[in-house]
Chain A
Amino acid sequence: MLRKALLIVVVLAMMTLMFGCTDRGVTSVDDKYSRGATYTDQHTFPDQLGQSMFSGVALTTLLRFRVFVPSIYGGQNSGEPLPVLYLLSPMGQDEFFYLDHGLEDVAAKLIADGTIKPMIIVCVNGSNGYGGSFYGSNPAGGKYDELIGAKIGDAINGTLIKYVDGYYNTDTLRSGRAISGVEMGGYGAMRIALKYSPNFSSASAVSGPLDFDGADGTGGFIPLFEEVIVNARSAALITADSIIHFRDSVRIEDSITIPIDSAFIRDSVRSMVYTSIDTSYARPRQTMFFAAAASFSPHDTGTVGDGIVITDSTTFFNPEGIIKLHLPFDSTGAPYTPIWNLWLANNLQSLIPLYPNSLDSVPLMLLASPQADYGFYQQTASFRTTLQGLSNVNVSYEEYTGYSGYPADNHHFVYDLLPKILKFHSDHFEGL
């Protein structure tokens, strides 16, 4: 009896152990993908940048860009030609901006899992001496929109598209080319898509200066003008050295307001020789407006080519001795109409009538964060409204926010926006 009892117990115990002994191992699956590669690239474009007033200060006629190619890319003369997405850098950033925010891995993963088509991505450095070209178009500020958007010349003497199509195995058709950008890059992308729509199959922008004066004509950049002046005033009380005044003033852009005689500020600003270019982007508002002024309201393009000279001296500014520009606001921070109108002429809303129906065949996507800096959310939303008023324009719009303690300002969420951008443009690439 004891033997039987023991046998039963042992058998039951063994069954129990066997029932539970399967080793399930590690059941989670990691993402597997090949990263692809990126190439540092650059080229001189004398036709578009050779007359730039910045060429003698900080940059040459060189345009820098970084090119991502997927792992399947077979080289210039082999494999399937790939579509190309141009990503334009925002203010104060360069050709590394999107790579700094994970582009290489994001693109590689999405390509590997089939979410997007294999594509070449050209990350463009849109900086000039003030950290931003605004992708404008004049000889003094650089003809960036033409340089990036046009298809003229050849790979050596032409534009960026010509260069990229000449040296990479690209789909050279319109259906294989798109453009996008964040903030200032978003403005550039929309501006270029508008002016050179036959060259792009889609365009997108993220929280950019897409409507300079806002929906009612008093928004956009206008509230920021006074902030720059107010802080210049406060700093001007600190020391008698006007150069130091202004430089320090914008280091404390958000400091308290101390009224001072506006004429003093105007004279100080006008007379100084500004020797410190803000490459660290520590004075973003002031620097942004200097950059935009160099693009939209340069003083003396006559010395560099097209003979236009702004004779009004009220807001004239000559910070580098070489860079001569006119600010669009006076010493009170109010828009100064003669110069402000030059800016508004570059507003997308003003450009649209000049290129009628050009966006009809270019699907657009706008992404905007209510937490974006510098009122770019309102500008983007306003531009969306403008687009919705146009017949036949296909625009999608999406808002994004951050999470608790981590708002969607600055460039915090570029990493998360890249998949949306890549997917949007991939969906509009034909072929492959």
Chain B
Amino acid sequence: MGFLRYSVFLFLLLILLLPNVYGSGFTFDGLGVKARGMGGAFRAIADDWSAAYYNPAGYNRIKDNYLAANLAIFHDRYWAKPNVYWNDIYETGFYNGQDVANNHEILNIPQGGIVFRLPVWGETVFGLSGLQLFDENHRWRLYNNLPGYGPADYPGTQFYNNLDVVAFQATAARGYMNDKLSIGVGLQLLRADMTYSDLALRQNGMPSPLSDRPYDKIPEVYYNNGNGWGFGYRAGLLYDISEKLSAALVYAGKSSIKIDGSSTMDFYLGDNQYLIENRNYFPNTQEYLFASGSVVRITADFKTTLDVPASVSGGLAYKLTGKLIVDADFEYTFWSQFKGFEFDYENYRGLKDTSFHYANDTLFTQNPSVPIDWDNAARFMIGAEYKALSFIDLRTGFGYDQSPVKAETFIPQFIDLGNKYSYSFGLGFTVGFWNMDMAMTYTHHPDLTVSGISDVNGDGIMDNLPGDYRANYYQTVLGISYRF
């Protein structure tokens, strides 16, 4: 008992000593229906297929062969009220002051795995699973031309990020010290699919009056579509300190996924017939191009690297009674390793006449990538499971999730409004060899105000999007499993 108190004290102390770490970035946390019902506090229990993610060592606790499937359904509903002015005064074309909702979508994420115990190296538990590690899907329309700029219609998708990172993981775990200690390793084949668009306001380098307000900025909407592969791994320990107390430690290594694909870049040039009429800008001249309301489409090939950050996590589980178990976890993610998408472009197509030096050499071929600069982040979770009846389990959990995002590089494609609180509950039904589970989570996001335009890399393109943001997020996870 003294050891238990000591351990709990150390764990709480660890939490208190980590006030400067931040949250979850864009980690998808709808993994595992039992784990979600416990608020994600599952690493020191880890007794179902989702242990592949939470703690691969937990596979050693699965005594039966096991087949499971989950479906996570989640809604992320965000609002942005842009506040983007040049010099805090001049209108930019953003819907300043308007409460704009993102395009709402319900995301369905299937995942699952199979676990089987084989007589290899004594006895080893193996598993194959499909995990969705990251899922971003945000689509915004926040911009339209300033009055007088021109009549061109902008696409509904201006700020868009649809990023899916799926891990196909092979896991192996076995026990030592009479199974008091379990060790597990998972090797991952990572697949990333990405559709990313952004609106960059580019400084117009043409002479006056072609570059006088409201033509000082040239909006560029680029749309990148690509995919790629990478490798990753996870490793975990699970140790039974006593019959009632277990401790877990998990490490996930950094992975880099090489992505390539094609890009479409649309440049919306000013439309001023008075300039054309009065200044004798003739067709087929660069001046005419910049005053005629043209939408110039350039295409190119791109490459980028998605750095999936490393993380370290752990937990303690304690059986309070024969029916009630509680688990408290932490996770620390090295989000500073994530740098967003730095696109490299090549094979430009659609450039204009070679005499249009400014257009071709500077405007159409300038890299519009925006940098991401995040802090490392942590999350803390506590959950409980209570066996109410022989065939019904009740679960609940609470999570505190720190944000890695800095205002200087805040963009709506990777939206994270700050430190979050999540509340979960779940149910599990056991009928024979079958288990059916569900979990629901509501996550409270704080309101966020991003003030002031920043240009972190000094390329003349703003690297954040000032405004007021708010959000609602809730998800449901359904699961079914069969032991054989």
Contact = CB atoms under 8 A, between A and B. Distances in A.
Contact of A401 (B87, B100, B147, B148): B87
Contacts of B387: none
23 contacts: A19-B75, A24-B101, A24-B104, A26-B103, A28-B95, A33-B147, A94-B278, A96-B275, A96-B277, A100-B274, A100-B275, A102-B147, A102-B214, A108-B147, A402-B87, A403-B90, A406-B86, A406-B203, A411-B209, A412-B208, A412-B213, A415-B214, A416-B89
Contacts of B98: 27-29
Given A28-B98, A105-B148, A411 B212 contact: yes
A100 B213 contact: no
A44 B441 CA distance: 78
Contacts of B86: 403, 406
Contact of B431 (A5, A13, A413): A5
Interface in A1-30: 1-2, 5-6, 8-9, 12-13, 16-17, 19-24, 26-30
B436 interface: yes
A23 B214 CA distance: 34
B429 interface: yes
Nearest to A20: B75
Contacts of B73: 13, 16-17
Contacts of B277: 96
Interface in A314-353: none
Given A102-B148, A415-B212, A22 B104 contact: yes
A298 B460 CA distance: 48
A414 B438 contact: no
Interface string A95-117: 01001111011101100000000
B391 interface: yes
A410 interface: yes
A307 interface: no
A389 interface: no
Interface of A: 1-2, 5-6, 8-9, 12-13, 16-17, 19-24, 26-31, 33, 94, 96, 99-102, 104-106, 108-109, 400-406, 410-416
B274 A8 contact: no
B460 A405 contact: yes
A9 B477 CA distance: 11
Interface string B83-98: 0001101110001001
A20 B436 contact: no
Interface in B134-154: 141-142, 144, 146-149
B440 interface: yes
Contacts of B431: 1-2, 5
Among B86, B144, B213, B431, find the residue whose CB has the most chain A CB atoms closer than 10 A.
B213
A96 B274 contact: yes
B478 interface: yes
A353 B106 CA distance: 75
A68 B214 CA distance: 19
Contacts of A402: 87
Contacts of B156: 26
B208 A410 contact: yes
Nearest to A408: B87
A5 B87 CA distance: 60
A68 to B, nearest CB: 11
Contacts of A403: 86-87, 90
